[in-house]
């Protein structure tokens, strides 16, 4: 009997090369409130975290859930306005997942994005139909680097963590995969390869999906770090 296998994809910066637009929207959001932030440091510290976690870190640790949700909605509306004219999948993605499906690999999305952004991206590109599971910020209490979103995606696919490979573009996401006991493939859409040198669960770095071979990825040694 064949062991079930899965690919779990982060969305922003991985399925779509959009992180520059997220950064622009955050800069504009904070500028409205008189805050100046360093774009590079902000990305490294926050990519993969949920919106309410970021709001509490940068604005007010005592924000209520309702107030944080309103602020997050404002920021995400800015992002969608900026990115909408540029919405497209990373090169090779659709061909890659089509091949994966032919080889009986289960597919999931595991993202820190709120529901409106998941609809904007997956439905905007007509990609949702390809996935066995879609897990977002509304489905888990904690964002990355906690492993919750990846573990739930694996559970919904019916695949053990050691047989899942995560696709990510951010260090916090790769760390979340490590804590979940999963191998990771890094897309260097946002950061250079050296930004991921410390991670022992990274099995491949690539500029886009056209550089990836499914058989080669699953031939790598499973990573066995247990969830924390």
Q: What was the pLDDT predicted at 89?
A: 98
H or E stretch covering 28: helix 19-32
Residues recognised as catalytic: 10, 12
pLDDT at residue 23 greater than cutoff 60? yes
pLDDT at 225: 64
In the block, tokens 């499906």 appear at 101
What are phi and psi for residue 197, nearest 5 degrees? Answer: -60, -30
Close Cβ partners of 173 (under 8 Å, ≥ 6 residues apart)? 10, 47, 48, 144, 145, 166, 184
Higher pLDDT, 99 or 225: 99
What pLDDT, in 10s, does the model give residues 165-186?
999 999 999 999 999 999 999 9
What does the pLDDT average to over 14-20? 95
CATH of domain 19-85: 1.10.150
pLDDT above 80: residue 47? no
Mean pLDDT (whole number) for 7-26: 94
What is the rounded average pLDDT for all residues in the chain? 92
- In CATH, the number for domain 5-17+88-218 is 3.40.50.1000
Of 43-47, 102-106, 165-169, where does mean pLDDT reach its minimum? 43-47
pLDDT digits (tens, 9 = 90+) for 177-217: 999 999 999 999 989 999 999 999 999 999 999 999 999 99
The domain limits of the chain are: 5-17+88-218, 19-85
Counting Cα atoms < 13 Å in the Cβ hemisphere of 160 gives 10
**Rounded CA separation 169/196 (Å):** 9
């Amino acid at each position: 009997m064949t062991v079930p296998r899965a690919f779990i994809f982060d969305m922003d910066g991985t399925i779509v090369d959009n992180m520059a637009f997220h950064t622009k929207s955050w800069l504009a959001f904070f500028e409205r409130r008189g805050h100046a932030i360093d774009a590079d440091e902000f990305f490294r510290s926050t990519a993969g975290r949920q919106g309410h976690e970021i709001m509490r870190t940068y604005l007010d640790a005592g924000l209520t859930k309702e107030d944080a949700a309103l602020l997050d909605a404002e920021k995400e509306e800015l992002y969608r306005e900026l990115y909408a004219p540029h919405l497209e999948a990373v090169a090779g993605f659709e061909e890659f997942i089509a091949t994966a499906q032919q080889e009986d690999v289960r597919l999931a999305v595991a993202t820190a994005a709120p529901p409106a952004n998941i609809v904007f991206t997956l439905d905007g590109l007509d990609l949702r139909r390809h996935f066995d599971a879609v897990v977002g910020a509304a489905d888990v209490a904690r964002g990355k680097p906690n492993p919750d979103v990846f573990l739930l995606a694996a559970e919904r696919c019916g695949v053990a963590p050691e047989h899942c490979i995560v696709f990510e573009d951010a260090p916090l996401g790769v760390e979340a995969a490590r804590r979940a006991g999963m191998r990771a493939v890094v897309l260097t859409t946002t950061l250079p390869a050296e930004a991921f040198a410390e991670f022992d669960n990274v099995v491949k770095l690539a500029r886009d999906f056209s550089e990836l071979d499914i058989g080669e990825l699953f031939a790598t040694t499973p990573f066995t770090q247990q969830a924390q």
